[in-house]
């Protein structure tokens, strides 16, 4: 049975995804879709820069990954249990997607490269070659995460494959998702975004869910097609590491998107011959705390409430995507003995720059420099963190710091801040349980309070926002935990 704390974080994450609560797993069908197996062979590319997509047919044979057990049945478990990824392309054919496409002036969502980038395996013919059995209808399938298999599918069946390093395998396009950092980067490229696929304010206004992603909770929610028990045995503190890497990589992805957006403005102004157009770039409204502006105007308590350390009426930038990473960088030295002054400094500079915009423009050149510096520092930090292990004492201290009263200044007293703080506490609490192999009495008391927090943070059924959220009630419960 899934531990109680993971259920709580999963419920909150589920509410974040779709705005309503839904069962933790869909009914499992008896059989995976039957696919005619193809001969395992490498597909030669005419352009070395192009990825070569084989499709799920290259993985689904019973002698490969189409068996019944988890090990050897990875395709079967994905196809029958992981409904969200399996049906990602189907979503683009729904009435809701058609309505969104109309609002955005898009002919069809299921043919739009921006949508296909995350709702299918990459289908851009300019960047990929498709094998003879490739089918876009399988949604976010094997190669979406493990990498285009044209250059490694045959090789990975050979004994010599296991002798190759991760770097050597990556040269063939393979992603080793046992690396939590590689996994974080792969997930976040869609669930947070990338320069080629972003969910901006226009897309949200048209009906797309806001991307509020937290890696450890989402992994707990995801039906597994790998041996999770073996993964926990290798790294029992992985829940906390997933949370940390998820925050770092999410902030980095946001920085990369900011750089790309600014460079588009510079390029457009250069093409038009009007350099004045490139002086400023407006931040996207999706980067701010939605609830700073979208209040229920019938609610009396929000008026005049100081919800951040900013002026009343000034929306909070990066409340979901960067605030937690900034707090983690500040605490890294005392908790883990890892000095992250460079990452903290670049995050603070970037946040100050964006916050100063007040929804107007920021200097384009300065944004490129500051966001690019943040991206570089965050990438170095995540790679360094990947190679470091956390022991029981460090996890306990992290939990203590996330509960500390001065953490109130880092996690804003808004739904974004409170939910991120809740998820951090749950990740650390679960990691501690996995490390010591049992639940202590103080952990049971914490679980009771976290249950109350979950009820206050989750979205009401039928709503895509935390309509009943009351900051004062949540803050009071956090005080009880200290």
For the stretch 307-332, pLDDT in tens is 555 566 678 899 999 999 999 999 99
Structural domain contains residue 358? yes
**pLDDT, position 1:** 37
Q: Identify whether residues 142 and 269 lie together within a single domain.
A: no
Structural domain contains residue 166? yes
Q: Identify whether residues 406 and 456 lie together within a single domain.
A: yes
Q: Identify whether residues 279 and 399 lie together within a single domain.
A: yes
Q: Identify whether residues 417 and 476 lie together within a single domain.
A: yes
Structural domain contains residue 134? yes
Average pLDDT over the chain, rounded to an integer: 84
Structural domain contains residue 404? yes
Structural domain contains residue 54? yes
Q: How many domains is the chain built from?
A: 2
User: Please, which pLDDT band fits residue 468 given cuts at 50, 70 and 90?
Assistant: confident
For the stretch 389-443, pLDDT in tens is 999 999 999 999 998 877 777 788 889 999 999 999 999 999 999 999 877 777 7
For the stretch 269-317, pLDDT in tens is 766 655 565 688 888 999 998 887 887 644 555 554 545 555 666 788 9
CA 330 to chain centre: 22
Structural domain contains residue 30? yes
User: Please, which pLDDT band fits residue 125 given cuts at 50, 70 and 90?
Assistant: low
Q: Identify whether residues 356 and 441 lie together within a single domain.
A: yes
Q: For residue 224, is pLDDT > 90?
A: yes
For the stretch 83-99, pLDDT in tens is 999 999 999 999 999 99
Instruction: Look at residues 187, 212, 234 and tell me which one is the last residue of a structural domain.
Output: 234
pTM equals 0.88
Q: Can you tell me the mean pLDDT for 31-40?
A: 45
User: Please, which pLDDT band fits residue 37 given cuts at 50, 70 and 90?
Assistant: very low
Instruction: Look at residues 201, 234, 267 and tell me which one is the last residue of a structural domain.
Output: 234
Least confident of 34-48, 222-236, 245-259, 280-294: 34-48
Q: Can you tell me the mean pLDDT for 37-51?
A: 48
Q: Identify whether residues 293 and 419 lie together within a single domain.
A: yes
Q: Identify whether residues 67 and 209 lie together within a single domain.
A: yes
Structural domain contains residue 14? no
Q: Identify whether residues 53 and 94 lie together within a single domain.
A: yes
For the stretch 157-185, pLDDT in tens is 999 999 999 999 999 999 999 999 999 99
Instruction: Look at residues 234, 269, 293 and tell me which one is the last residue of a structural domain.
Output: 234
Q: Identify whether residues 324 and 468 lie together within a single domain.
A: yes
- The CATH number of whichever domain residue 111 belongs to comes to 1.10.1130
Q: Identify whether residues 297 and 374 lie together within a single domain.
A: yes
The residue segments making up the domain with residue 127 are 25-234
Q: Identify whether residues 161 and 261 lie together within a single domain.
A: no
């Amino acid at each position: 049975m899934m531990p109680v704390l993971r259920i709580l974080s999963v419920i909150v994450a589920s509410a974040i995804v779709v705005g309503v609560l839904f069962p933790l797993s869909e009914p499992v069908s008896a059989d995976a879709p039957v696919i005619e197996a193809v001969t395992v062979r490498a597909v030669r590319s005419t352009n070395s820069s192009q990825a070569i997509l084989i499709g799920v047919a290259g993985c689904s044979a019973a002698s490969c990954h189409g068996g019944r057990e988890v090990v050897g049945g990875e395709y079967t478990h994905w196809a029958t249990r992981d409904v969200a990824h399996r049906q990602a392309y189907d979503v683009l054919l729904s009435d809701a997607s058609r309505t969104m496409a109309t609002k955005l002036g898009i002919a069809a969502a299921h043919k739009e490269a921006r949508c296909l980038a995350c709702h299918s395996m990459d289908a851009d013919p300019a960047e990929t070659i498709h094998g003879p059995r490739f089918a876009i209808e399988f949604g976010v399938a094997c190669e979406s995460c493990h990498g285009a298999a044209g250059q490694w599918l045959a090789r990975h069946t050979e004994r010599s494959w296991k002798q190759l390093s991760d770097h050597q395998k990556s040269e063939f396009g393979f992603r080793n998702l046992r690396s939590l950092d590689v996994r974080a980067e792969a997930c976040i490229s869609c669930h947070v975004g990338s320069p080629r696929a972003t969910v901006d304010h226009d897309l949200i206004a048209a009906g797309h869910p806001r991307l509020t992603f937290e890696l450890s909770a989402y992994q707990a929610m995801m039906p597994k097609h790998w041996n999770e028990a073996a993964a926990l045995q290798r790294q029992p503190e992985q829940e906390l590491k997933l949370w940390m890497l998820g925050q770092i990589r999410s902030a980095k992805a946001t920085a990369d998107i900011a750089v790309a957006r600014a460079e588009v403005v510079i390029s457009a102004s250069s093409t038009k011959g009007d350099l004045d157009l490139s002086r400023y770039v407006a931040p996207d409204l999706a980067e701010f705390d939605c609830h700073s502006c979208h209040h229920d105007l019938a609610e009396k308590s929000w008026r005049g409430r100081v919800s951040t350390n900013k002026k009343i009426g000034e929306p909070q930038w990066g409340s979901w995507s960067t605030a937690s990473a900034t707090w983690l960088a500040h605490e890294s030295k005392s908790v883990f003995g890892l000095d992250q002054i460079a990452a903290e400094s670049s995050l603070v500079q970037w946040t100050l720059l964006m916050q100063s915009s007040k929804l107007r423009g920021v200097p384009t050149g300065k944004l490129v420099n500051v966001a690019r510096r943040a991206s570089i520092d965050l990438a170095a930090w995540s790679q360094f963190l990947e190679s470091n292990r956390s022991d029981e004492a460090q996890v306990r201290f992290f939990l203590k710091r996330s509960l500390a009263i001065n953490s109130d200044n880092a996690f804003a007293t808004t739904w974004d801040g409170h939910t991120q703080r809740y998820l951090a506490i749950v990740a650390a609490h679960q990691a501690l349980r996995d490390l010591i192999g049992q639940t202590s009495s103080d952990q049971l008391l914490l679980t009771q309070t976290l249950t109350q927090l979950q009820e206050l943070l989750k979205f009401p059924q039928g709503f895509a926002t935390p309509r009943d959220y009351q900051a004062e009630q949540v803050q009071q419960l956090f005080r009880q935990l200290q």
